[in-house]
Amino acid sequence: MSNYLFAPPEVHSLPVRGEARRFPVRRIYCVGRNYTDHIVEMGGDVRELPFFFQKPADALVPDGATIPYPPFTEDFQYEVELVLAIGSTPADSSETSARAAVCAFGVGIDLTRRDVQIAARKAGRPWEIGKSFDRSAPCSELIAVTSTELPDAGAIELKVDGVTKQSGDILQMIWKPLEIVAKLSEQYELKAGDLIYTGTPAGVGALAPGSKVTAAFGDLCQVSISIA
Residue 11 lies in a domain: no
Answer yes or no: is pLDDT of 203 > 90.
yes
Residue 76 lies in a domain: yes
Calpha distance 116→75 (Å, rounded): 8
Q: How much is the pLDDT for 38?
A: 58
Residue 10 lies in a domain: no
**Position 49 confidence tier, pLDDT thresholds 50, 70, 90:** confident
- Whether residue 174 contacts residue 40, with contact meaning beta carbons closer than 8 Å, is answered with no
Calpha distance 110→224 (Å, rounded): 13
Residue 8 lies in a domain: no
Q: How much is the pLDDT for 43?
A: 59
- Whether residue 215 contacts residue 223, with contact meaning beta carbons closer than 8 Å, is answered with yes
Residue 119 structural domain: 22-227
Q: How much is the pLDDT for 147?
A: 84
Name the domain count of the chain. 1
Q: What is the CATH number of the domain that holds 95?
A: 3.90.850.10
Residue 15 lies in a domain: no
Residue 2 lies in a domain: no
Residue 197 lies in a domain: yes
Residue 104 lies in a domain: yes
**Position 36 confidence tier, pLDDT thresholds 50, 70, 90:** confident
